[in-house]
Chain A
């Protein structure tokens, strides 16, 4: 057993999983409240990545930043969170709210339209080129935690730590604050919540803001740790984030966190070991096969996901 490889894959999986978890949280929050699959969520992540890239360029770029690196990263994340938060609010206001009483397929199609609209708008604004954060110039890859042959780049630690901090903050917000209570109530029964005096529209707007802000942060973290961004990156992260949300139990916040880490680790380990396990029949190209097989398996065996509760219908 190659322990170095195992630990390295664990590190890679946790990094990737942290990003998926942030995306899954946005999916889960919106689904929990509106029972809507926000298919444009991955594209909000992409916009966040571009906002971060814009801030990076504005503050001198990776080679010659005009502020301290830690401050630069904080500003990038904050700008992306605020920008994407407002983008989420706009999406909700113009693409979903008018369809709130329409059949469920209508907002789903609207979400698809929003996704293409965002993708093509970014293409129009920034062009088709892959944009580089040059994060390997911002923070040298040799800066980090070294333990024997294992190297963990400091930006991977930053990604994991900040994603964890955001998830904990969200957990506290949902369980310990008045807004969180209103969110839970709206999620449980929207009409009853409204009758109890909760401003449901306002709760939904805030939910979109928070979910989209998390996606924006995830976009910057992706750019920082993997270096390059493009206008269609949102599709892949959206798909994996959605898978994570389903595996964890869509609508459940701990489920989204767990699902994200689970999918991230599954992807990393399948790339690392699929070749050995299948004696060379399947290569690393088939890692997505494993990830989506997991999704199918969960849908068959436990459709409500690990932390989800089966929907009980009263007759």
Chain B
């Protein structure tokens, strides 16, 4: 009996020890070699590398490659970038999205750069459990819950529109505004939101429309009355905003151009007088970003850049960090990368930390407005 009790006691102790060990044992830690093998995966890039917004995509992929190279060097990882050129065309973006989904090495996508690319690729990525992190898609409804694996590092147009409206009314004291859209998914909702906001504040508003390929706006300018104060141009082509601005001057119109974020380019949109809003501060104006800019300039051999590249650098950093965390056990899946992306909490080059809301928007951010005088940019709001 006594022996039986002792045996039973020992059995309980052994069982307890086994259970305790099993519970207390940390998840199997992968060796650095396993992590390196696991992070030998790819990130897709979905953006316009050619076409009217080619300048934007080229800047973004250059910063993405720079960021991935820097991250690989610092962390012993071997991430690669697979480029996908949307040409700013939605059907092309959808074809590329399918290709990314079927490429088992791609664990996350950086992009789509343009809202229309996200609209057509979002559900494909969601079905494949593939996280996509955009550095520039600002259309408001992209994060209304319709694409559950979509994230962005930039604020949406629900912030940009009202901010432009407030600035135009309060600071520029405009009474008569022309809004020009470029007939795409990015431009139309933004132009409509600005239009509604201005009308609500009793500003006279008229609408014009151009195509993304247009290079001549002189007949649009002929429609701009001499009493118009501001022309808000919702475009993704900076040179178009520049031409519009010059043609206003050519026809002796006093109106100035206020470009939306797609027009942000100190090298291409350089009117004598104008404004532009952008989703992230340009690091050129941030003394804290000087070291990073120097490093990028060395990498890119002094390629010019604005705000698009650095934002995509952050999107890439979120993706690589999430994939590395997903690799902690020596294995990586798209679902795990998406889970880790949702938990992103990393220092941002724009100050503070990058985190995502439950719907995939960054927390918290705002647009920055720049004044342009004789082609020189300065932040004003």
Contacts and interface: CB of A to CB of B under 8 A. Distances in A.
Contact of B226 (A15, A149, A269): A149
B101 to A, nearest CB: 25
A149 B55 CA distance: 37
A15 B218 contact: yes
A244 to B, nearest CB: 16
B76 to A, nearest CB: 33
Q: How extensive is the interface on chain B, given as a class?
A: 35 or more
B20 interface: no
Contact of B239 (A12, A228, A236): A228
Interface in B184-221: 207-211, 213, 215-216, 218-220
B268 A132 contact: yes
Contacts of B60: none
Given A267-B219, A272-B222, A285 B246 contact: no
A271 interface: yes
B144 interface: no
Given A129-B55, A284-B208, A285-B211, A272 B223 contact: yes
Q: Which of B183, B239, B249 has the most CB of A within 10 A?
A: B239
Contacts of B223: 5, 271-272, 275, 284
Contacts of A229: 215
Contacts of A236: 213
Contacts of A227: 215, 239, 242-243, 246
Nearest to A228: B239
B252 interface: yes
Contact of A272 (B219, B240, B246, B251): B219
Contact of A12 (B209, B213, B222): B222
B362 interface: no
Contacts of A141: 246-247, 249-250
5 contacts: A15-B218, A127-B58, A227-B239, A284-B220, A285-B209
A16 interface: yes
Contacts of B52: 130, 230
Contacts of B209: 283-285
B1 to A, nearest CB: 88
A283 B55 CA distance: 28
B251 A232 contact: no
A9 B222 contact: yes
A130 B55 contact: yes
Nearest to B251: A151
Contacts of B237: 130
A12 B249 contact: no
B283 interface: no
Nearest to A273: B223
A228 B238 CA distance: 10
A123 interface: yes
A284 B215 contact: no
Contacts of B219: 9, 12-13, 267-269, 271-272, 284, 287
| Chain A CB within 10 A, most for which of B48, B240, B250 | B250
Interface string A165-195: 0000000000000000000000000000000
Nearest to A15: B218
A290 B56 CA distance: 32
A8 interface: yes
A160 interface: no
A73 interface: no
B162 interface: no
B222 A283 contact: no
Nearest to B85: A128
A5 B223 CA distance: 7
Interface in A190-245: 222, 225-233, 236
